[in-house]
Amino acid sequence: MSQQSEYSEGDLRNTGMSLKHDREWDYELERIVDEIDDRDAAKVGLQFPEGLKRRGPKVADDLRERVRDDVTIMLSGQPCYGACDLDTYLMKRTDVFVHFGHSPMKDTDKVIYVPLFSNVDVTPIMEEALETLADPDDDPEVGLVTTAQHMNLYEEMREFLEERGYDVDSRRGDERLTHEGQVLGCNYASADVPANQILYVGGGKFHPLGLAMEHPDKHVVIADPVNNVVTVADTEKFMKQRYGAIHRAMDAEKWGVIFCTKIGQGRWEQAQDILDENDDAYLITMDEVTPDRLRNFDMDAFVNTGCPRITTDDGPQFHKPMLTPGEYEIAVGHEPLDSLEFDTFHGTW
Ligand code: SF4
């Protein structure tokens, strides 16, 4: 499964920086211990995203040293790819439940979120990105977005640009996002700003690609401090892949409509709308959406109402075309081909 976590550690491995991060990440152990004491907790659940799971035992050891002997620490073995993806089984059965590596998608006392900010210096790559942004004398306005991992440096990024003559446009997208300027793989509402150019500071290309598709009128510059590279988001290849999937699904008769049971990935109304209008559509409920799990369903095509990244990142691995809800509308002829948009996800649960 190649779905990437919002916290993608794979990128860090390329830089040889993971050891440094091992030492310097702040797991906020004292805050967790205080909660355990305050709640007189007997059971503690820890959930890490995929890229950080191997840190779990060490964090459990560090906690065991600090808490009463009768406290049981449990590690979630469920796959986890985002703040949308809480291990609700473990959460319900523990007195303190800690989710590492993502910022909160919803304010709740039930979950302690420990975001684990990256400590990569963003200024060298931002300096390089200036060459790809418009000169501030020609166009001073720039939107600034980043991922949860680098959110702690957002003000530093803003100051960097302002000191060089830019006016930074920023907003907090919607309730699915915790911070001003934050984007998720499924939500780019923070880039809904008047500026014609957006600077994305963060690892990987998936987020800025989604951003560029969502805002085709904007020039999206990627300053990737993890891989140390500046590029401009180019959606052409990605769009071709999506049009290919739509074309392959156009003759489909039997449709599998996937409803994801993960707490922050369910879009019931979208799934229901498809079922209401298509007698050859079957609702399939599941948590992990993988090619293996769908292989035994005799369908001609699938529509995924869960995480959009599964459709777009892993789409080619499924045995039948896998579409987003918007792409489904095109494939069945309800919408024109040029209505193709990135599948974004709003709200929480
Ligand atoms: S639904 Fe959104 S937040 Fe959750 S894993 Fe997918 S892209 Fe990330």
> Tell me, what's the pLDDT at 184?
93
> Tell me, what's the pLDDT at 24?
62
Beta strands in the chain (DSSP E): 43-47, 72-75, 96-100, 111-114, 141-146, 167-169, 197-201, 219-224, 229-232, 255-260, 281-286, 301-304, 322-323
Q: How many Cβ atoms sit within 10 Å of the Cβ of residue 248?
A: 16
Closest among 8, 287, 302 to 147, alpha carbons compared: 8
Please give the biggest Cα pair distance in the chain. Answer: 65
- pLDDT tens sequence across 173-212: 889 998 999 999 999 999 999 999 999 999 878 889 889 9
Question: Does the beta carbon of 84 lie inside 6 Å of ligand 1?
Answer: yes
What are the φ/ψ torsions at residue 247 (nearest 5 degrees)?
A: -60, -40
DSSP state of 331: H
What are the φ/ψ torsions at residue 146 (nearest 5 degrees)?
A: -155, 175
Q: 11 pLDDT exceeds 90?
A: no
- Ligand 1 centroid vs 147 CA: distance in angstroms? 12
Question: Does the beta carbon of 81 lie inside 6 Å of ligand 1?
Answer: yes
- pLDDT tens sequence across 158-184: 999 999 999 999 999 889 998 999 999
Question: Does the beta carbon of 267 lie inside 6 Å of ligand 1?
Answer: no
Calculate mean pLDDT across residues 59-73. Answer: 97
In terms of pLDDT, which residue wins out, 261 or 19? 261
Q: Which residue's CA lies nearest to atom 7 of ligand 1? A: 185
Calculate mean pLDDT across residues 62-84. Answer: 96
For the chain, list the domains and their CATH numbers: 10-114 (3.40.50.11840), 123-232 (3.40.50.11850), 236-339 (3.40.50.11860)
Q: 278 pLDDT exceeds 70?
A: yes
Percent of residues, the chain, with pLDDT higher than 70: 93
> Tell me, what's the pLDDT at 348?
87
Question: Does the beta carbon of 177 lie inside 6 Å of ligand 1?
Answer: no
Average pLDDT over the chain reads 91
- pLDDT tens sequence across 224-269: 998 899 999 999 988 999 999 999 999 999 999 999 999 999 999 9
Question: Does the beta carbon of 184 lie inside 6 Å of ligand 1?
Answer: yes
Q: Which two tokens stand for residue 75?
A: 């590690």
Question: Does the beta carbon of 96 lie inside 6 Å of ligand 1?
Answer: no
- pLDDT tens sequence across 93-105: 999 999 999 999 9
Q: Which residue's CA lies nearest to atom 1 of ligand 1? A: 307
Rounded Cα gap, residues 274 and 284, in angstroms: 12
- State the pTM of this model: 0.88
